[in-house]
Amino acid sequence: SSSSSSSSSSVRAKLKEGMFPSVFYVSALHEDGTDDVLQHLLRLATPTNNDWPMEANEVTTLSTLERIQEVIREKLYRCLHQEVPHQITQVNRLLTQKEIPIDKNNDDGTTSTSTSSST
């Protein structure tokens, strides 16, 4: 049909313009092409050296609570399409720290622990 061919030519034109930067042909029923989608998403989710806000050897002066607040602000900013949420007030109701054992044994035979924070 002519509407089908005009539709496919419209898609081809948009592909050439870069409006659909990644197109995947997938059959979920036959699990064909799903690895391509997964690899693409992993590439997008893995930061490059230029994406990190700090160098590996830099140390922040922010407290744990301040770092948590910054992460929440960033997520709100992204979810609100980069609009600054002036009317939103963040309230932290609970911040706990606990030691979590890890499987690394020290030279003296003791097990190291790690401190984890959650809100």
Q: How confident is the model over 36-65, as pLDDT tens digits? A: 888 888 887 777 767 677 777 888 899 888
Query: By C-alpha distance, which of 47, 54, 70 is closest to 119?
Result: 70
The Cα 97–Cα 78 span in angstroms is: 28
**Percent of all residues in the chain with a pLDDT value above 70, rounded to a whole number:** 69
More confident residue, 32 or 88: 32
The Cα 80–Cα 73 span in angstroms is: 10
Residue 80 pLDDT > 70, yes or no? Answer: yes
3-state secondary structure of 97: strand
pTM for the model stands at 0.40
* Average pLDDT over the chain, rounded to an integer: 75
Q: Angle CA(48)–CA(53)–CA(57) in degrees, nearest 5?
A: 90
For 5, 7, 26, 98, the CA distances from 23, given in Å and listed in that order, are 19, 16, 10, 45
CA atoms within 13 A on the CB side of 75: 7
Residue 93 pLDDT > 60, yes or no? Answer: yes
Of 37-51, 57-71, 75-89, 94-108, give the lowest mean pLDDT range: 94-108
